Structure formats: C-alpha cells, structure tokens
C-alpha cells in the first residue's frame, strides 16, 4: 500500500525509501499499552523497608549471607552466589581468617607470622587478579560476582584454620601436624572445587583449565599459610 503510493517530492521519497516497504494494513488497530520498566519494578517491591524494625533488616541480610555459606559448603550447581552477590560474607571471612592468622605474638617483631594486612592483601589482590584473568580469557561474569564467589569459597579454609588453632591449643607434635595436614588438604580441595563449580560455567569450555589454575594457586597459598601457621614460633 505504501509502496505503491506516489509521493509528490522526490527528496522526501529518497529519504524515507527505507520505510517504503513497511506497510500496516488498515484493519489492524495501531494501539497498545505503554509500559515503563521503572513502574513495573516499583510494583514488585511494594513493601517498604523504611518502617521495618532494624532487627528484621539485619536478620534478613544475615540470612542471605548464611544461605550463601550453606551453598559453599554444599556446592551444587546453583546460581544463588552469582545472582545476588554481596561482599559482606567475604569481608567477614577475610577478617576472621586474618585475625586468626595474626598469632598471639603480634606485637613482637620477630614472630615472622603473617600480618593482618598481609593476609588481607593476599586475599583481595589474589581475587582481583583471578577475576581479571578470567575476564581476559573471555569469561562472561561480572567483576563483583567473581569476587563474591572467590570470597565466599574461603569458608572451608577458615574452618580449617579454626580446627588448626584448636589443635595447636591442645598440643604440638607429629600427630596433630598430620591431622592438620589432612584437614587443610581436604578443605583446600573443597574450596577449589566449590569455586570451580560456580565459576567454570562462565568460561569457554576449552579454556577452563587456564582459568582454574590461578584459583588453584590462590587457595594453595592461603592453605599453605594456614598449615605453616604456628603461634609459638
């Protein structure tokens, strides 16, 4: 219909020549609803968090963090860690791990133990490097999603650190060292497998090994620090 229509001025016709084959037949009514994306979103969260008790807010956030901890300890194929990332869990884990690694001889200079800042920097710097590496290898994951997963997957190692500290309180001999070695090795494998389970899907399948290697190295360094930790040295 529009194509057969002859327009009087040629210039206009050339300008809109691309549109000439777009035709709308007369019996279809040209009407519809205009939906604004913002409006639908505000309808979704109709409950307001402004007038709820502070306890509810904190409990909700804690529940979310706890839920993610559970996902790390039981790593099925789940996107809960990826879908709504947060950095609270990684912060808690990182700080508690660093505090436990600090040792009781923190003020003496010759302790040689890892300092708080060192552990903190290793964890965050390592996570950033792994994330950048996975992005460079062509991974389809956002920066903070990856940081969140890597941070949450330190949980098994934090547990291993706790066990090690308790064992070191009891006694320091070969038997406890072997137990510590086994615990740390198992938790290291757990951390690596959990983070791989979450992150591997975002990588191109032929390059999975390249993306997993830095993750392996990262958790290996942390678990080695945990294993060699000795508060009395």
List residues binding other proteins (CB under 8 A): 109-110, 112, 114-115, 117-118, 121-122, 129, 132-133, 135-138, 206-207, 209-210, 213-214, 217, 220-221, 224, 228
Closer of 23 and 108 to other proteins (Cβ): 108
Closer of 81 and 211 to other proteins (Cβ): 211
Q: Supply the minimum distance, in Å, between the C-beta of residue 230 and other proteins.
A: 11
Closer of 65 and 218 to other proteins (Cβ): 218
What is the sign, positive or negative, of the torsion defined by CA atoms of 167, 169, 171, 172?
positive
Closer of 176 and 230 to other proteins (Cβ): 230
3-state DSSP call for residue 231? Answer: coil
Question: What backbone phi and psi angles, to 5 degrees, belong to 22?
Answer: -85, 110
Q: Supply the minimum distance, in Å, between the C-beta of residue 16 and other proteins.
A: 23
Closer of 173 and 206 to other proteins (Cβ): 206
Report CA Rg, the chain. 28
Q: Look at residues 152, 162, 139, 143 and name the one whose alpha carbon lies nearest to residue 212.
A: 139
Question: What backbone phi and psi angles, to 5 degrees, belong to 211?
Answer: -80, -30
CA 218 to CA 211: how far, in whole Å? 12
Q: Supply the minimum distance, in Å, between the C-beta of residue 221 and other proteins.
A: 5
Q: Look at residues 103, 93, 143 and name the one whose alpha carbon lies nearest to residue 123.
A: 93
Q: Supply the minimum distance, in Å, between the C-beta of residue 3 and other proteins.
A: 32
Q: Both ends of the chain: CA-CA distance in Å?
A: 90
Closer of 59 and 136 to other proteins (Cβ): 136
CA 60 to CA 79: how far, in whole Å? 19
Q: Are 152 and 93 in contact (CB under 8 A)?
A: yes
Closer of 81 and 97 to other proteins (Cβ): 97
H or E element in which residue 189 lies: helix 174-199
């Amino acid at each position: 219909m529009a194509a057969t229509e002859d327009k009087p001025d040629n210039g206009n016709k050339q300008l809109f020549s691309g549109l000439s084959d777009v035709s709308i037949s007369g019996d279809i009514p040209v009407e519809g609803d205009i939906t604004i994306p913002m409006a639908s979103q505000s309808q979704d969260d109709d409950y307001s968090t402004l007038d709820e008790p502070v306890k509810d807010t904190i409990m909700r956030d804690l529940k979310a963090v706890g839920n993610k901890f559970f996902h790390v300890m039981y790593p099925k194929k789940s996107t809960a860690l990826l879908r709504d990332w947060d950095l609270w869990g990684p912060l808690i884990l990182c700080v508690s791990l660093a505090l436990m690694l600090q040792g009781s001889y923190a003020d003496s200079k010759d302790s040689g133990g890892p300092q708080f800042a060192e552990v903190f920097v290793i964890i965050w710097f390592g996570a950033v490097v792994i994330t950048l590496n996975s992005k460079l290898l062509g991974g389809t994951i956002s920066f903070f999603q990856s940081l969140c997963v890597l941070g949450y997957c330190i949980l098994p190692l934090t547990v291993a650190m706790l066990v090690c500290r308790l064992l070191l309180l009891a006694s320091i001999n070969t038997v406890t060292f072997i137990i510590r070695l086994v615990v740390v090795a198992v938790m290291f494998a757990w951390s690596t497998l959990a983070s791989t389970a979450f992150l591997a899907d975002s990588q191109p399948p032929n390059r999975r090994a390249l993306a997993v290697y830095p993750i392996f190295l990262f958790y290996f360094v942390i678990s080695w620090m945990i294993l060699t930790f000795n508060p009395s040295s």
